[in-house]
Structure 1
Amino acid sequence: MSSYRRAISLAADNAGCDRAGAAVVRGVTFSLGPGEGMQLFGPNGSGKSSLLSMFAGLIRPAEGGIQWRVDDAPGDTAPEGGVFFLGHDASVKPALTAEENLRFWAQANGGGDVDKALNAVDAASFRHLRAGRLSAGQRRRVDLARALLADREVWLLDEPTAAIDRDGVRIIRKLIDDHLARGGIAIVATHDDLGEGFKRLELAR
C-alpha cells in the first residue's frame, strides 16, 4: 500500500463556529497528525456538520484558531487538493449510472481506478444502474467511492454510514483504516462507534 505524497496535520486551538449568526460550537481543541483519526459525537443539532464545514474551509472560525501543516510548512487554510469532504447529501448525478458517476469524478481529479473503487465499496453489481434508481445506501456507497478516486490526504466524513447496512459499515471502517495506514487523517461524524484507534470529540447541544 503506497503512502500519500504529503504529510498533513491539523490542529484546533479553542476553535468555534457559528451558524446563521448564532454560536454553535465553542472551545474545540485537538491535534491530528498523519495516520490519526477522530470521531465526532453529539446529538443532532450539536454542530458536527458545521464543524466539518469549518475544517473544509467552507465557513470561517468564529473564534480560536485552526492550523494546518503540510510537510514542514504551516498554514491557516485547508491545503489545496488535500481535503475530501463528504456531506449529508449524496453528490451522485441521478441521470448517470454508478460507473458513469465515478468515471466523471475520476476524470475531474486526474485519473483513478474506477473498477477498483467500485469493488472496494461492493458496488460492482449495480455499476450499470442509474443512480436515480439506487437505494439510499447504494448511492452512499458510490459517494464514498469518490474518496478513493480523489486520493486526498484528509477525509472529512459527515455521517458516512447513514442508510448503510451492517456489511456496509464494515466496508467503510476498512476504507478509513486503509486511508489512515497510508498516512492520511480522518475526521468522522457518525452515531456508529468506530472503535479503538480514534480520538473522540464530544459535542453538546
Structure 2
Amino acid sequence: MDIFNRIISRKFKNIAGDRYEQIAKRYREFLLLPEELVLPEVRSILFPIDRFSLDIPDELLETLSAYSGAFVKLVYVSEERTLRLIEQTLGEEEAEKLRMEKIRFARQTVKDFAPKLERLGLSVLKEPIIGSKSDDVIDMMSAQDFDLLVISRSFGAEPTKTSPTSPVVLKILQHIEKPVIIY
C-alpha cells in the first residue's frame, strides 16, 4: 500500500498541493491494504458443469492457469427431477435407460474436458452426479472445503434477456461464502 501512496504522491506532487492528502485521508477505508492485494492461496477448486455450461472460454483457462498445482473436482451434474418425471410418465424402464445415457454422456464430457485443465498443471478428479444442481454444489462447497468455485452463469438453465445469470447460480451464490469465478 505504501508503494501506491508514494507513486501517487510523486505523480501529483506539485499539481494538487495538499489536496491529495485530504483525499487520501477521506477515502483511506476504500484503499486496499498490502495483505488485501495478495491473492488467496487456492489448493482446491470445485468446477461443476452441465449441458448448459459446456462452452468454456479461453480467458477462463488462462485465469485457472494461475492456480497450477491445485486440485480440481470436475463434476458433471444431471438433474434428478427430470428422471423422476420420466419415471412417472413413461415408467421405470425408460427412466433407467435415460439415467444410463445421462451417466454415459456425463462421463464422456468430463473425460473430454479434463485434459484442458490438466494441461494447465491442475490435478483433476472427474465425477458424474445425478442430483439437485444447486443443493449438491452448495453441499460440496461446504462439506469438502473447496477454496474456489468456478461456475458458468448458465449452469442449470439458459440465461435470458432479463436475467443474464441462471436462477440456479444465483441460489448457489446466496448460500456459499467462498470465492467464486463466474464465466
The structure with higher relative contact order (CA 8 Å, sep 6+) is 1
TM over 0.5: no
Give the TM-score normalised by the residue count of structure 2: 0.31
Q: Which has the higher strand share?
A: 1
Q: Which has the higher helix share?
A: 2
